[in-house]
Structure 1
Amino acid sequence: MKHLKLKSLALLITVSFAISSCTSTRTALFDQYSYEKTIELKVEATKLMSKATTPYNSHKEEVETLLLNIEKLVEYEKNKPNNEITFEMWKVLNDKEKNLLSAFFKRWETKGTLSPVFLDASKKQVLDALDLLIQYESKKDNESRDALLELINLNT
């Protein structure tokens, strides 16, 4: 009887540790909507960024629409449970003071037009960040999480 109680206690302790460790490292499950919207916004951003060698005023409405759609997705991501990493990355992308998407559009607005060299470098940086976000959303694995966290940390 004593042996059975010890086994039960050991099992209870093991299950408790497993549950507590899982709750501390929770990650939001795959979300088809987030995945599709991120891809959609990447395609739209790529197309719009490519126009930055032309006057900003000619594309102001397109930029504002894209930024509004990003704000909507940020709000969606903010309210998903266990979604801190994705939410933080969207905040970085949407921050006009960082060196990613919204900051690119702010600079384009300020300068009027951007040089092809600056455009190419910025576009690569933004698209790499969006690719990491897409990978993380599709895989939800440690490798893609760590890559995304590294990028977030570099930009905070």
Structure 2
Amino acid sequence: MKPIKITITSLLISSFLFFSCNSLKTAVYDQYSYQKTVEIKVEASNLIDKATTPYEDNLQEVGELGLEIQKIIEYEKNKPNNEITYAMWQVLADKDKNLLVGFFKRWKEKGQLNSFFVEEAKVQIMQAMDLLLEYEIKKDKETEDKLLQLITQ
């Protein structure tokens, strides 16, 4: 009778561990995602600073950054259990939102932006990207909630 109790107990513990780990459904830390996000953040920061100059003078850099953003979105889209990071990249890339690609759209439409607007927009964009980086490192509930709040705005 004792071996049956041990087997049942072992089975219950194994089941509990399997289902509790499986219910987390969050992608694990990814060095590539972190590195590419840092690279894009630095490139974006430098390019945002140039928005006080004519957009036409920076077409190549804007295009190159846009390509890097498309690449990371495609990468994030295909990672399992990665819906939150993927959704945040979609927000950053949405030309109708007031974040990264939306900033470049406004710059293109206006031709050149004033320094006050550039400084204010840069703070918001960099904070959003910092939050994405923090989430990639921690993958905790608090950071996830902050990202979800930003995504659903």
TM-score, scaled relative to structure 2: 0.91
Q: Paired residue for 1:124?
A: 123
CA offsets 1:33-54 (integer angstroms, 9 cap, x no match): 1111100100000000011111
Q: Paired residue for 1:64?
A: 63
Distance in 1, Cα, partners of 2:15 & 2:99: 42
Distance in 2, Cα, partners of 1:11 & 1:146: 35
1:39 aligns with 2:6: no
Distance in 2, Cα, partners of 1:30 & 1:124: 26
Instruction: Give, as a single letter, the amino acid of the residue that structure 1 aligns with 2:110.
Output: K
1:23 aligns with 2:22: yes
Contiguous gaps of at least 5 residues in structure 2: none
Q: Percent identity?
A: 54
Number of aligned positions between the proteins: 153
Shift of 1:14: 4.2
1:145 aligns with 2:144: yes
Runs of at least 4 residues off by over 3 Å? 3-11
Shift of 1:135: 0.8
RMSD: 1.6
Q: Which moved more, 1:24-33 or 1:71-80?
A: 24-33
Contiguous gaps of at least 5 residues in structure 1: none
Instruction: Give, as a single letter, the amino acid of the residue that structure 1 aligns with 2:84.
Output: I
Distance in 1, Cα, partners of 2:151 & 2:9: 40
Shift of 1:17: 3.5
Q: Paired residue for 2:104?
A: 105
Distance in 2, Cα, partners of 1:7 & 1:148: 44
